[in-house]
Structure 1
């Protein structure tokens, strides 16, 4: 039976889509679990962000940058050949369905992913606060590239923490960061992936509290980061609403996005949360399979609540509460947790979270390239993997939007290796 606290949290979810509450909680999740040294910085950041949100000049500046530098709005593209293919699949299964599939093409943004949206907002906030040094963590490298890009644009030094494992498998993005003037710090602790990079970035921040701004890339971390990242990324969903009304005369029936920490997903989902007739799916990294011990990174399908990186959320843990490393073929989804708003949405039942394996993501990667001439990143390939399962079960008048949140330039050599393609 649900506790009174859980019931209260669920009631708030139904009436406060714009959350979190004043302490940074989404129901039972979120909050600020940080070192005493960092608490004044977190409070200053919250105050600065609230002031910036209320300042029309700040909003206008960010909008101008997103339009003329970031390349927004990104197109809403009807994936006609993929739609036809999955309708044929439906026929082979004895059905007559097959949703009409659209891609929200955020991979066409400057730097090749949705990450630039959040970085343009936060770099302006850092400048507004008088910070003179930027640090960030990155997994797939797309956030690192976006941070290095905005720092180059505004003449600020930056250091990027990246797991050594990810440095190896995402070499093209590492080269881009260097070319943009960033210092890339490989992290060799743990499994050398995103969790470990975030640990090192937090240690840096504690050491350099006066002049440094930590530009977090995902909708996780201590309050106000989850809400702030969501707010900057929600331009994805707002544009999708307008574009779908223009293209089809109505809102979509189904939304799909991949989820590691969850910034691209919450950016698409949030403007639609009050439209309760719209089905929403977040796609986690199923890795080698949910039945393989420590073989996946699907924290909401294979984890339980705990505290990591300043917030309470779903985490991959062992019986003693130690954080597991997890696994994904995709560096951007290889994280043992998830943003706290997603944890809240899972418990409420508003969003359904499903796993897709490495193998299924690779198949979807090839399908997109072959049918649509779009080479996706391995992250949205997971979302597409779920679309290939879901779309044939839906009626043909179902309008499905998937967020194509990153392009596959960074992954082509890794995928070639997985597929045995000799270069």
Structure 2
């Protein structure tokens, strides 16, 4: 039998990159079911429809806790790992649930998020950006707000999850943390959290990402982290991090920063990132006594998008828009638009949408933003896309660069190239909004000083 590698362990090739027959979402949800009305959202990607989508609805089946005991979101997710790792994943799930119920842990985390990370982050009214789009649309347009995750310690949303999981690692007595990073923001957040808590830290990172995000690499090392170069891309770094963890299960903790992988990893990441949406709801109520009409986030693997979307899943009057990286264009084959162009299969321990060829082999993704170069996406976002609750759009490299410059010049804010994909879709999104005064919230998930050399090379002359 042919074999291939799943996160560092040899398993049957029947479980890897295998296309899964499509089935109705309602057929596989088995517990805590109830029906809700959600918008009938578009399944096309650009341009967006002109009519407000909230006028159309359909019924879908969703679960009250969004996942069941098998770690499935509809037909997505699961725990496709060797038997020896099932025990470890079960133990991790138990520790995660215990931490959620532990009032002392929750108070310590809340204090650290406030005093160390700098939460809550502002919900910033981008007045000049709002006026820019109003001027383009006959004086009518939404008020645009930015959820300023770029103001977190280390410069992105990644610290929310990295700190919480590092605290769990210390709580269960482990001394060493291993992880993988693409843009370097998760690696930087993990190295910082480990330095704070006195834990050893090893970060696996693709050589090409180390080159284009060199400032983050130097900071990780300054923080005491060990950075291991890997040939290939973020997916290869992820595999090597898992392989390293498997070699020392008794002493090390695998700290995933993306909402992908076997259960309970996607749920843990989403839970610790959900503070983004919770704060957004509270701040919107304070600022305009209501909710956002639309929330927008970039989609790489899904951590920042789920952090924003999860709070509003059942608010069917709130439109959820995820923006993937179209790279050089969807027809070029050089993109990272997994939900827009991928197919369902098994990869890195879970069922989700993947970029794969006719034989089920992974296709190399591309994006100008290192943090969006992954051939898969989280199982929860796969479910939300297929059910119609989240609308998926795409933005190219050039559109992301345009948005980077626009936000710099209009608001004095330089976002990460990952986040600029969310801003890039505003040109197509805003004409689709109702003519009354809408409120649009964009998750500014990271700051862009790490990407300045790329922007300078592509757009700004010396």
Q: Does 1:341 align with 2:380?
A: yes
**Residue 389 (structure 2) aligns with:** 350
Structure 1 CA distance for aligned equivalents of residues 393 and 120 of structure 2: 28
Structure 1 CA distance for aligned equivalents of residues 154 and 28 of structure 2: 41
- How do 1:272-287 residues align onto structure 2 when only pairs under 5 Å count? 272-287=312-327
Q: TM-score, normalised by structure 1?
A: 0.95
Counterpart contact for 2:299–2:305, Cα < 8 Å: yes
Counterpart contact for 2:167–2:197, Cα < 8 Å: no
Q: CA RMSD in A?
A: 1.5
Structure 2 CA distance for aligned equivalents of residues 2 and 33 of structure 1: 18
**Residue 74 (structure 1) aligns with:** 121
How far off is 1:416 after superposition?
A: 0.5
Aligned partner of 2:356 among 307, 317, 320: 317
Counterpart contact for 2:25–2:61, Cα < 8 Å: no
How far off is 1:97 after superposition?
A: 3.1
Structure 2 unaligned segments of length 5 or more: list them: 1-20, 35-59
Cα distance change, pair 173–17 in 1 and its aligned pair in 2 (3 A): farther
Counterpart contact for 1:138–1:194, Cα < 8 Å: yes
Larger strand share, 1 or 2: 2
How far off is 1:193 after superposition?
A: 1.8
When the two structures are aligned, how many residues end up with a matched partner?
414
Structure 2 CA distance for aligned equivalents of residues 54 and 339 of structure 1: 25
**Residue 219 (structure 2) aligns with:** 176
**Residue 370 (structure 1) aligns with:** 409
- How do 1:208-223 residues align onto structure 2 when only pairs under 5 Å count? 208-223=248-263
**Residue 439 (structure 2) aligns with:** 399
Secondary structure at the aligned position of 1:37 is classed as helix
Q: TM-score, normalised by structure 2?
A: 0.87
Aligned partner of 2:75 among 7, 11, 28: 28
How far off is 1:309 after superposition?
A: 1.1
How far off is 1:110 after superposition?
A: 0.4
**Residue 233 (structure 1) aligns with:** 273
Structure 2 CA distance for aligned equivalents of residues 341 and 112 of structure 1: 25
How far off is 1:405 after superposition?
A: 0.4
How far off is 1:128 after superposition?
A: 1.2
Aligned partner of 1:360 among 399, 402, 410: 399
Aligned partner of 1:157 among 200, 204, 210: 200
How far off is 1:338 after superposition?
A: 0.5
Counterpart contact for 1:256–1:282, Cα < 8 Å: yes
Structure 2 CA distance for aligned equivalents of residues 39 and 202 of structure 1: 14
Counterpart contact for 2:277–2:312, Cα < 8 Å: yes
**Runs of 4+ with deviation above 3 angstroms:** 1-15
Q: Does 1:257 align with 2:297?
A: yes
Secondary structure at the aligned position of 1:38 is classed as helix
Aligned partner of 2:154 among 90, 107, 111: 111
Counterpart contact for 1:79–1:102, Cα < 8 Å: yes
How far off is 1:310 after superposition?
A: 1.1
Counterpart contact for 1:17–1:274, Cα < 8 Å: no
How far off is 1:375 after superposition?
A: 0.4
**Residue 416 (structure 1) aligns with:** 456
Aligned partner of 1:141 among 176, 184, 187: 184
**Residue 371 (structure 2) aligns with:** 332
Stretch deviating more after TM superposition (141-150 or 124-133): 124-133
Structure 2 CA distance for aligned equivalents of residues 332 and 2 of structure 1: 29
How far off is 1:51 after superposition?
A: 1.0
Alpha-carbon deviations, 1:36-89, whole Å to 9, x = none? 332221111011111111111111111110011010000000000000001111
Structure 1 unaligned segments of length 5 or more: list them: none
Structure 1 CA distance for aligned equivalents of residues 22 and 156 of structure 2: 39
Structure 2 CA distance for aligned equivalents of residues 154 and 223 of structure 1: 26
Q: Does 1:62 align with 2:105?
A: no
Counterpart contact for 1:100–1:399, Cα < 8 Å: yes
Structure 1 CA distance for aligned equivalents of residues 318 and 201 of structure 2: 40
**Residue 199 (structure 1) aligns with:** 239
Structure 2 CA distance for aligned equivalents of residues 412 and 251 of structure 1: 34
Structure 1 CA distance for aligned equivalents of residues 295 and 326 of structure 2: 19
Structure 2 CA distance for aligned equivalents of residues 258 and 193 of structure 1: 20
Counterpart contact for 1:256–1:402, Cα < 8 Å: yes
How far off is 1:208 after superposition?
A: 1.2
